[in-house]
Amino acid sequence: MVHHDGTTVHWLGYATLRLAGDDIVVYCDPGRYGVLDGIEPTDGDVVCITHDHHYDSDGIRRVAKADATLVVFEGVDANRIDRDVERPADLPYDVVWVDDETDTAVGDPTGDRTDGPRPGEVFVRTVPAYNDPDGPHVGADGEPPHPEGLGCGYHLTLPSVWDRDVTVLWPGDTDALDGHAALDVSLFCPPIGGGPTMNREEAAALAAEMEPNLVLPVHYDTIASLETDARAFAADVAERGVPVVLDEPGA
């Protein structure tokens, strides 16, 4: 668990992030590969889903409050998923569907602040997430595992108990894309496992260009195909002058 500018951040494994700001808890891509085994927190006010591969209705039920809001990429299709999942519309939560260019506010805000998210609220901005078909992250058949339009990433602005908001980027399953480095990011949570996403070297280069206040890598080592050297990544980022921390499940 990591504390950053009054916000608590916990990488639970695979793509699952828990973010706790001022009177709000947000989960990104909860579930799959046993990352929630043994816990059922049901404390999530907002749950964000990037794409089919990370959609897990059981995981959502484990983390979401009864009155939670789901933010789901519009391309998520339970009928296309080769796992036993419920449709988002059949879950007992409000669902907000997004594309990869959405800006919206979600939650149950309190207070009268006008210059950022209020306690209980998160600003959600989506960004494109895909593999370049001419890039290094394609399958054996030459096709990208994440073609453009399959999913999105999330740029989240959370209210902090401190005097400044926290902007978190979970870019989703993606290459390092044009535009990522231009985002205003306080906490950058890149995938570093390679394969269907940017690898640790590409993520480190992007972090140096982005210059966030802190880097917390995710999406590695949960399964064999995502094995990487997280400590080498951390050393690489630190050598570039960017603060970095590891939050490895079970450590």
Q: Rounded mean pLDDT of 42-69?
A: 98
Among 3.60.15.10, 2.40.160.60, 3.40.50.880, 3.10.180.10, name the CATH number for the domain at 2-239. Answer: 3.60.15.10
Q: What is the average pLDDT value for the chain, to the nearest integer? A: 95
Residue 209: pLDDT over 60: yes
Q: Please tell me what DSSP assigns to residue 19.
A: E
Question: Confidence band (pLDDT; 50, 70, 90) for 150?
Answer: very high
Residue 122: per-residue pLDDT: 97
Q: What is the percentage of the chain residues whose pLDDT exceeds 90?
A: 93
Residue 205: per-residue pLDDT: 98
Residue 22: per-residue pLDDT: 94
User: 0.85 exceeded by the pTM?
Assistant: yes
Angstrom distances, CA of residue 163 to CA of 4, 5, 22, 202: 12, 9, 11, 33
Structural domain spans, the chain: 2-239
Q: Report the alpha-carbon angle 46-52-53, nearest 5.
A: 100
Residue 8: pLDDT over 90: yes
Residue 176: per-residue pLDDT: 97
Residue 250: pLDDT over 70: no
Residue 114: per-residue pLDDT: 80
Of 38, 8, 13, 40, the closest CA to residue 25 belongs to: 8
Identity of the residue numbered 236: D
Q: What is the CA radius of gyration of the chain?
A: 17
Residue 251: per-residue pLDDT: 57
At 184-207, the pLDDT tens digits run: 999 999 999 999 999 999 999 999
Question: Confidence band (pLDDT; 50, 70, 90) for 57?
Answer: very high
Residue 125: pLDDT over 60: yes
Residue 39: pLDDT over 60: yes
| Per-residue H/E/C for 178-216 | CCHHHCCCCEECCECECCCCCEHHHHHHHHHHHCCCEEC
